[in-house]
Amino acid sequence: MYLQRSRAVKRAGDNMAAMVNTQNDSRRLKDLLYEQVARIGKAACSPKRLELIELLCQGEKPVETLAREAGISMKLASAHLRELRAAHLVETERQGKNVIYRIANRAVCDFWVAIRSLAEDRLVELRMALAQIESNPKELAPHDRETLVRLAEKGDVIVIDVRPPAEYEAAHLPFARSVPLDELKSRLAEFPAGKTVVAYCRGPYCLMARDAVELLRKKGFDAMRLPEGVAEWGIAPVRQDG
């Protein structure tokens, strides 16, 4: 009788130990899963890394260009890009003496748009800062994307991409024409009289379209700012495998 009770106690103890081990294994697995997902958040926790992601959503660029456009040194840009590459958010390719960076895939651009939209929804300080950009140029509120494309196709509005030519060549909105900001003043004669001009650039945090609208209005054009770019439209340039 005593022996039977001892065996029963031992079996219960073994079962309990197995349950504890199973629970520990499950906990370790969950911790590992969250730890891996957190790598993305860690890689994107820097304001400059977010800006680099936005820049690369416009097209592939060498580190020299990224550093200049982000307003940081090449050494710092390289350090940030290493972190983004370690999280598999960007890829590299050597072209001669240059190392070219590009977005790993379109999901990275979707991530940038989503996290930016979440921040705009939750952070009043961000909305106040955005108001400084949006308070002057008239937004393209009356038209949805399908309407804008239809009007541009018919020639009822002129959509201009004021980003650098290389970004336009990488990807651009339907029926948009490339008119880089630094060429705009000398190309005003290209716009038909009486037509509304819609300017866009890299997205809502980019100021090139705002400056373009300001210039166009001073010259008497009906101009509007589209606060979206190729990332928001889901057409950011990514290399297709194969």
Q: Phi-psi region for residue 88, left (φ > 0), alpha (ψ -120 to 50) or beta?
A: left
Q: What is the pTM of this model?
A: 0.87
**Which whole number is the average pLDDT over 211-219?**
95
Q: Is 201 a catalytic residue?
A: yes
User: What is the structure's pLDDT at 144?
Assistant: 83
**Which whole number is the average pLDDT over 190-200?**
94
Asked if the model's pLDDT at residue 10 lies above 70, the reply is no
Q: pLDDT class for 12, splitting at 50, 70, 90?
A: low
- As a whole number, the mean pLDDT across the chain is 90
| Per-residue model confidence as pLDDT tens digits over 67-125 | 999 999 999 999 999 999 999 999 999 999 899 999 999 999 999 999 999 999 999 99
The amino acid occupying position 229 is G
**Active-site residue, from 57, 109, 201, 206:** 201
Q: pLDDT class for 44, splitting at 50, 70, 90?
A: very high
Ranges 5-14, 70-79, 228-237: which has the least confidence = 5-14
Asked if the model's pLDDT at residue 156 lies above 90, the reply is yes
Ranges 21-35, 145-159, 218-232: which has the least confidence = 21-35
User: What is the structure's pLDDT at 242?
Assistant: 39
| Per-residue model confidence as pLDDT tens digits over 58-72 | 999 999 999 999 999
Q: Which residue has the higher pLDDT, 8 or 194?
A: 194
